[in-house]
């Protein structure tokens, strides 16, 4: 029987989870043994795991989604929700060709060989699925997992934990954790850019999940034994503020099966158009990240040197409390920084005073954004303004910031 039919049958017959996971594992094993694509001259492409991110972003999906558009250089947009009996896919809530291409690239970018990426309709859908899947695994071992978060973090993650209700128990970062418990980290953390010691957290018995939304491509967290990395693809991965998505990437095949099952069951699959936009965006991720992160470093240094702010929070600054951890753990420091103004009035006014930065939430896009973060999260200092650095010229951004700050003095 075709592997995807097994998935469809499993799904329609509502078999128990364990059986479902087994057949899903079979399905993925069979896919993993597919031949790498061949060039026109018959030579085989190089092993995917040996590619640097910039190359993987352009080539890691080669050979996936072979359709009638074989001669196209750009990937086709597969919009169909249903597929011929016996084809590679059955129904697009379960799997779809454009999504699968995108997942192949994301897995290559985050983890290389052995990693699997599962795409979701949003970052929060990925967060919810990861926690629900780890909770289900712990419950099968007779436990309610405790989820430890360290400090403030993204407010939507707190909502996702709340939506799980009694399936998980929320505890503080200092809790004594055991096997089956979860440490949920953000690296760097929203909105204060603290950088947790991920390898240190992985030395404990709990599963460590890292939300790496603030610094895509700048960390190799799966190498540190992290159970799962998530990203809001709405942010830097998408990078153009025009799509909603989320992704969970793991080398734990059983967890990947659970995530894919959860997505199908909860209906949290991303649409094909969003997947296509994301795939297109990933092609340029490396150059965007390189440029945006370099600009963020320059902006942070200029703001700190200006003396116009109470504090500049950016892991690339020697003054940052986690600069040493960040330098060990990251290859660059991300495109997000936060500043603490000297007064609440100045912090409230800054986003509207800037000319090039749009006053809006979100981050990671080609356009620079500024937001008075307290507006969205009342746990945040009223002095803090979060800046997302885009692809504009660094000197223009610095001029804009310094002149706005001088006007607000």
Enumerate binding residues for ligand PLP (CB under 6 A): 122-124, 154, 156-157, 186, 190, 211, 213-214, 232, 234-235, 244, 246
The pair of structure tokens assigned to 289 is 């990240």
d(CA 319, CA 402): 20
Torsion 308-310-315-318 (CA) sign: positive
Tell me how far, at minimum, the Cβ of 296 lies from ligand PLP, in Å. Answer: 15
Query: For ligand PLP, which is the closer residue by CB, 48 or 231?
Result: 231
Residues in the chain, overall count: 409
Beta pairing partners, 169: 146
Tell me how far, at minimum, the Cβ of 119 lies from ligand PLP, in Å. Answer: 11
Tell me how far, at minimum, the Cβ of 213 lies from ligand PLP, in Å. Answer: 4
Query: For ligand PLP, which is the closer residue by CB, 11 or 154?
Result: 154
- Tokens 């504009």 locate to 392
Query: For ligand PLP, which is the closer residue by CB, 122 or 264?
Result: 122
Query: For ligand PLP, which is the closer residue by CB, 232 or 332?
Result: 232
Select from 346, 401, 344, 331 the least CA-distant residue to 369: 401
Cα distances (Å, whole numbers) of residue 324 to 103, 195, 197, 331:
32, 9, 10, 12
Query: For ligand PLP, which is the closer residue by CB, 116 or 373?
Result: 373
Would you call 281 helix, strand, or coil by DSSP? helix
Select from 170, 183, 172 the least CA-distant residue to 144: 170
Query: For ligand PLP, which is the closer residue by CB, 92 or 232?
Result: 232
Neighbours of 313 (CB within 10 A): 25
Residue nearest to ligand PLP (CB): 123
Tell me how far, at minimum, the Cβ of 274 lies from ligand PLP, in Å. Answer: 11
- Tokens 């997992």 locate to 145
Query: For ligand PLP, which is the closer residue by CB, 213 or 381?
Result: 213
Neighbours of 114 (CB within 10 A): 13
Burial class (CB in 10 A: 0-12, 13-18, 19+), 26: middle
């Amino acid at each position: 029987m075709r592997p995807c039919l097994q998935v469809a049958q499993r799904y329609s017959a509502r078999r128990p989870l364990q059986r479902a996971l087994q057949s899903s594992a079979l399905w993925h094993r069979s896919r993993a043994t597919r031949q790498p694509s061949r060039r026109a001259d018959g030579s085989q492409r190089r092993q995917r795991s040996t590619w640097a991110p910039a190359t993987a972003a352009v080539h890691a999906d080669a050979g996936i989604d072979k359709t009638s558009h074989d001669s196209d250089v750009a990937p086709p947009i597969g919009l169909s929700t249903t597929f011929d009996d016996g084809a590679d896919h059955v129904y697009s809530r379960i799997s779809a060709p454009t999504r699968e291409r995108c997942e192949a690239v994301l897995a290559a970018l985050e983890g290389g060989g052995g990693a699997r990426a599962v795409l979701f309709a949003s970052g929060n859908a990925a967060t919810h699925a990861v926690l629900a899947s780890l909770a289900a695994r712990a419950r099968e071992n007779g436990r309610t997992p405790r989820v430890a978060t360290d400090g403030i973090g993204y407010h939507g993650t707190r909502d996702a934990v709340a939506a799980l209700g009694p399936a998980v128990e929320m505890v503080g970062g200092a809790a004594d954790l055991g096997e089956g418990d979860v440490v949920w980290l953000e690296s760097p953390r929203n909105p204060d850019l603290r950088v947790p010691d991920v390898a240190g957290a992985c030395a404990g018995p709990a599963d460590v999940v890292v939300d790496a939304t603030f610094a895509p491509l700048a960390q190799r967290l799966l190498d540190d034994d992290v159970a799962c990395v998530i990203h809001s693809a709405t942010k830097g991965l998408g990078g153009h503020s025009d799509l909603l998505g989320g992704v969970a990437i793991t080398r734990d095949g059983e967890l990947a099966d659970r995530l894919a099952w959860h997505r199908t069951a909860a209906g949290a699959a991303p649409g094909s158009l969003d997947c296509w936009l994301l795939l297109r965006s990933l092609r340029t991720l490396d150059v965007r990240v390189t440029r945006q992160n370099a600009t963020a470093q320059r902006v942070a240094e200029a703001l700190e040197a200006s003396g116009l702010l109470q504090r500049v929070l950016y892991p690339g600054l020697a003054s940052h409390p986690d600069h040493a951890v960040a330098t060990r753990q990251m290859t660059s420091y991300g495109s997000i920084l936060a500043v603490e103004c000297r007064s609440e009035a100045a912090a409230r006014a800054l986003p509207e005073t800037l000319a090039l930065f749009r006053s809006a939430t979100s981050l990671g896009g080609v356009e620079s954004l500024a937001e008075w973060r307290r507006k969205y999260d009342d746990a945040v200092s009223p002095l803090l303004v979060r800046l997302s650095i885009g692809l504009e010229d660094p000197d223009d951004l610095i001029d804009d910031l310094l002149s706005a700050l001088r006007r607000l003095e």
